[in-house]
Amino acid sequence: MNRYKIVSLVLAIALLASLTHLMVSQDEGHGCAKKCSAESKSGVVLQNILSRKSVRSFADRPVSREQIDTLLRAAMAAPTGRDMRPWKFVVVEGRAEMDSLAQRLPYAKMLTEAAAAIIVCGDMSVTDSHGKPSTNWTFDCSAATENLLLMAEAMGLGAVWTGVHPYEERLVAVKSALGLPEHIVPLNVIPIGYPKGEPHPKDKYDASNIHYNRW
């Protein structure tokens, strides 16, 4: 074999090695990109969860119907037992209605400042294949509420869960103020608006509350 063939063979082997290295690097880079992307996404989600706080003071600034719709889309993406979706949502934007609810509810006085409110309700007319209403409606509506609260945080809005169910006087107050039919039971009232000031979340993590495998 003459030297030209030897040089050509060496160059071919070197080129093949380079291409192989490049392909491996690209595969590793692609895998890293996927992993980094997943880690970045999970980091954003966790940060949003940890940043959520109960906002009880609101700036004089309106909230749009589009923003309300986004909150409700998030709420209705929540898990629900047997996919029954026993929830209804009443959106209150009128100042008179907001002030009336604030007067009637002991822990919802911030409604006088909020731009809007969403009342998360259980619909007792929603039944299963045996004609029975959901026994999990409070769980399902609570999951929907948490989705709503997290979405509000992600959108730069403030919100707070103010309880209605199971307090009889609050149930009567909300049902009468909004003209709710008998089969619609309000679980809570969520004031919505832009936060006033800079409220801070609470760090509630406590390792002593965690048990692995058994108590």
Residue 15 lies in a domain: yes
Q: Are residues 83 and 179 in the same domain?
A: yes
Residue type, 103: Q
From first to last of its 215 residues, the chain has per-residue pLDDT tens of 566 556 565 555 665 666 566 565 566 656 656 677 778 899 999 999 999 999 999 999 999 999 999 999 999 999 999 999 999 999 999 999 999 999 999 999 999 999 999 999 999 999 999 999 999 999 999 999 999 999 999 999 999 999 999 999 999 999 999 999 999 999 999 999 999 999 999 999 999 999 999 99
Q: Are residues 77 and 168 in the same domain?
A: yes
Q: Are residues 47 and 77 in the same domain?
A: no
pTM comes to 0.83
Range of the domain at 29: 1-51
For the chain, how many structural domains are there in total? 2
Q: Are residues 37 and 100 in the same domain?
A: no
Q: Are residues 93 and 33 in the same domain?
A: no
